[in-house]
A and B are shown apart, each in its own frame.
Chain A
């Protein structure tokens, strides 16, 4: 089973700042099958990025993904008020398709 580790656990930033979230895998993720999701309280998750770097439909271009192998990054170029949420990475290249523990981005 591939174990995903996300850092930091919590990121405290102000609107307009840049957010950099990390997701590290215990072994190489096949074909960069790595996704990022955003979840707000009381809501279902929303797909942001798939294939490590492809934005999902309707996702603003301030969200970008990068990385390969075992190290992946989600960058939010300028935080908007609606971006404060929990972010999860998931690998779907090898079953079981595991999630990371999440990074909470909160307002400083």
Chain B
């Protein structure tokens, strides 16, 4: 059974940093691209970032480019999102998600975690 489980969310002050982790199981992790998608309270989905299965290609939304870094450790079946210079508007539930067809990030998302809440507030 495919599972992706996020951790690392919490309360952080504006300008602070946080690193999210996502533990994956039930599939060959290195063979699939992965994504982060967020959802602010009561709002719609916002795509944040994606990474190819090998980790060689990364992609970012304009709203987080230069502040967030996506990475993966295929030996640990774990995806990361390093978030720096956090702003109030980054407050959201952050979902870790698996892409549905192989190594490329140019794919739909077929499995989602339950999300981890990040709150940016003083």
Q: Please report the C-alpha to C-alpha distance between residue A76 and residue B47 in the assembled complex, in whole angstroms.
A: 25
Is B80 engaged at the interface, CB distance under 8 Å to the other chain?
no
Q: List 30 A-B contacts (CB under 8 A).
A: A33-B108, A37-B45, A39-B45, A44-B113, A45-B37, A45-B45, A45-B95, A45-B109, A46-B112, A47-B110, A50-B100, A50-B101, A50-B107, A50-B110, A56-B110, A86-B44, A88-B45, A90-B108, A90-B109, A92-B106, A93-B106, A95-B60, A96-B59, A96-B61, A96-B62, A97-B105, A99-B47, A100-B44, A101-B44, A102-B44
- Tell me if B55 is interfacial: C-beta within 8 Å of chain A: no
CB-CB nearest in chain B for A43: B114
Is B81 close to A, CB under 8 A?
no
Interface residues of A in 71-90 (CB under 8 A from B): 86, 88, 90
Q: How many residues on the B side are at the interface (Cβ–Cβ under 8 A)?
A: 24
Q: In the complex, how many angstroms separate the beta carbon of B63 from the nearest chain A beta carbon?
A: 9
Complex Cα distance, B37 from A96, in Å, reads 12
Give bound CA distance, A101 to B39, whole Å.
11
Q: Which of B101, B106, B115 has the most CB of A within 10 A?
A: B106
Q: Per a CB cutoff under 8 Å, which of B50, B100, B101, B110 touches A97?
A: B50
Tell me the bound Cα distance from A44 to B52 in angstroms: 22
As a 0/1 sequence over residues 87 to 113 of chain B, the CB contacts with chain A under 8 angstroms (1 = contact) are 000000001000011000111111011
Q: Which residues of chain A are within 8 angstroms of B46 by Cβ–Cβ distance?
A: 99
